[in-house]
Amino acid sequence: MMTPREVAADYNLTAHGTVSSPGKFEGEAWYVVAIWDLVMNSYEDRDTGEDPTIAWFHVDADFVDGIEFHQTDREDFLATYPLGSYLGIWEDSQGFVYVTDRGKTSEEVDADDQGESCPHCGSDDLQETPAGTHCVSCGVNVDEAGGA
Ligand SMILES: [Zn+2]
């Protein structure tokens, strides 16, 4: 996996390791760049859905050990993506890359295989309303958010 130093060679990072360069990874943690690089080399454990296809990584000890954290980053990461959960990452139709806002269970990943998911946050908790498909998790109108 790419190191923070390798990511910083291509992108400006804040002191907290957030990408500040405009574009694809803006506002994301440096490790999102490194994880997307793994997707580009087809190292993900699963793929679900279309438009967007979400690539899933099983968060196990090997995966976490592959990420070169500063100590506090590692704790933050594990608080969001506990061991045993799945981290989802995808590219929207504008070319921006996002990760799930928390680790998902294998049941949630299975459910994503069967239905539409929010192109903004990856949640499959969608609700049909007269105004269109609404994401219960982040509140966006899915029909407007990404052409899904
Ligand atoms: Zn959402």
Q: How much distance in Å is there from the Cα of 9 to the middle of ligand 1?
A: 32
8 A C-beta contact, residue 123 and residue 136? yes
Cα–ligand 1 centroid distance for 123 (angstroms): 5
**Residue where the block lists tokens 């933050």:** 76
Q: How far is the CA of 100 from the centre of ligand 1 (A)?
A: 10
Let me know whether 42 and 94 are in one domain: yes
At 76-116, the pLDDT tens digits run: 999 999 999 999 999 999 999 999 999 999 988 987 776 67
Residue type, 85: S
100 with 129, same domain? no
Measure 146 CA to ligand 1 centroid, in angstroms: 11
Q: How far is ligand 1, taken at its centre, from the CA of residue 63, in Å? A: 26
pLDDT in tens, 7-51: 999 999 999 899 999 999 999 999 999 999 999 999 999 999 877
Q: Are residues 91 and 147 in the same domain?
A: no
| Claim to verify: residue 110 and residue 122 sit in the same structural domain | no
- Asked if residue 147 has pLDDT above 50, the reply is no
pTM of the model: 0.76
135 and 123, same structural domain? yes
Instruction: Say how many domains are in the chain.
Output: 2
Q: Cis bond leading into 130, ω under 30°?
A: no
| One-letter identity of residue 143 | D
Q: How far is the CA of 144 from the centre of ligand 1 (A)?
A: 12
Question: Residue 84: its pLDDT value, please?
Answer: 97
